[in-house]
Amino acid sequence: MKFKLSCLDILPRSGCICQIDNYSDVSLATPNCLLYTKFGSSLYLTLPLRRERFKVFRKFGKGLAQYSGLGLPVVLFQNDPTEAAVTRAVDKASIQVWAVGGRLPVNMKQYADCVVDALPVAFQMPVDNETSFPDVSPPTKKRCQKSVQRTKSYAHMIEEFVVSNEKLRKIPSLISVAGGNDLDQRLRGIASMDFSRGSGVVLDGFFHEPLEGDRLSHLETVFSILSSICSGLPPHLPRFLTNLWQPDEVVRACLCGVDLFDGSLPFRLTRSGIAWLYTAYRKEMVSSPWMCFPLQAEELKAEVYRQPIQPDCPCFACQRHNQGYVSHLHSVNEMLAHILLMIHNSTQCYAFFADLREAIANGRVDEFAEMSKTHHFPEDLVRIDLTTKTLQNGDA
């Protein structure tokens, strides 16, 4: 896997990931987002794979890409960005994964085995990222220092398995950079890491979701740290950033030097019944950057049964269905409601990143950044989960 930058020492960065093992015809222009999947399935679009079937998957033995039927390169990350940890639980020998049955401690041998079973085109090196755990205040300097130490220790343990396992040795790794919101610890972690063996960098463990108060001050700290640490990273490696998904915040992160994001935004919006009405560089403009389903009674006028979710949107949902129908599906808790909304929101998300790359190429990124502020979704709105009312594979 190779990362080619169009220009060196220029922010925001623009490039392309190509020459991916076993996927020579696949390339990914950056800045961009990855397709967010859970257990190898795209949420709401391929529901039968949503549950964990580890024994069946391991017996299959051909990797996650073939098992899920995606036909696309798979990148394996440590944590699900949409599932917050319930409590702090990492230790010096294992990281914690929050699965359907609760907390699952994973030691480095198990972590390496999971990577070999999944056969991804790249995998994130294990990281102590609990510095991002929602709390009333950011983690202390001592806690940030410990996250760097543990992450480095995890890397050494994984390297031992890499040496002894030929399959694991062939899978590129993404170096994890820890340290919370402490710039000194972040820089110390970068200085101690060996990036020569990595194919990318994952920037993880930032604190910006306080239990009390405004998150904006913490976000400003995150962006200040991002600018400093990105300047110290090897320029030839793509930078992945976790847990940042608001459109305007994505643009700011790109201006700091980030290349790739987790792509969970369409799922988050769909889960909350929100349709993204993204309009930059589109022929048709709309009055609001989003629409909430189901529609209110006063909104159910005759025209909503003739209008798509968004005019000029090329997605299947907008080409075949109208606002009234999608609202009805949400009202009766039909599974199809989330499927159609996921298709639409995914289309809008990819259009957003395509326009971001176009703005960078045309020198209009400042204008684009200003426009993106109108597409900041209210946090209280995105926290709503409408899908718990829908029966999916026997789950309530």
Q: What is the pLDDT of residue 395?
A: 44
Predicted pLDDT at 57: 81
Task: Answer yes or no: are the C-beta atoms of 227 and 253 closer than 8 Å.
Answer: no
Residue with the larger pLDDT of the pair 97 and 54: 97
Contact, 384 vs 272, CB < 8 A? Answer: yes
Q: What is the pLDDT of residue 392?
A: 45
* pLDDT at residue 396 in the model: 38
52, 45 contact by CB (below 8 A): no
- Convert the pLDDT of each residue in 128-156 to its tens digit: 999 998 887 889 999 999 999 999 999 99
Task: Flag whether pLDDT at 187 surpasses 70.
Answer: yes
Query: Which residues fall within 8 angstroms of residue 196, CB to CB, at 6 or more apart?
Result: none
pLDDT score recorded for residue 260: 98
pLDDT band at residue 104, thresholds of 50, 70 and 90? confident
> SS3 of 104, please?
strand
The region of weakest confidence among 25-39, 49-63, 127-141, 293-307 is 49-63
pTM > 0.85: yes or no:
yes
* 69-89 average pLDDT score: 85
> How far is residue 246's CA from residue 177's CA, in Å, rounded to a whole number?
22
Q: Position 300: which residue type?
A: L
- Chain mean pLDDT for the chain: 89
Q: Can you give the pLDDT at residue 391?
A: 45
pLDDT at position 124: 97
Domains of the chain: residue spans and CATH: 72-263 (3.20.20.105), 268-389 (no CATH)
Predicted pLDDT at 389: 63
pLDDT tens-digit readout, 298-311: 888 888 899 999 98
Task: Count other Cβ atoms within 10 Å, centred on residue 220.
Answer: 12
Rounded Cα–Cα distance for residues 10 and 165 (Å):
39
Indicate the pLDDT class of residue 50, thresholds 50, 70 and 90: very low
What was the pLDDT predicted at 298?
A: 83
> What does the block give as tokens for 319?
């080409």
End-to-end CA distance of the chain: 41
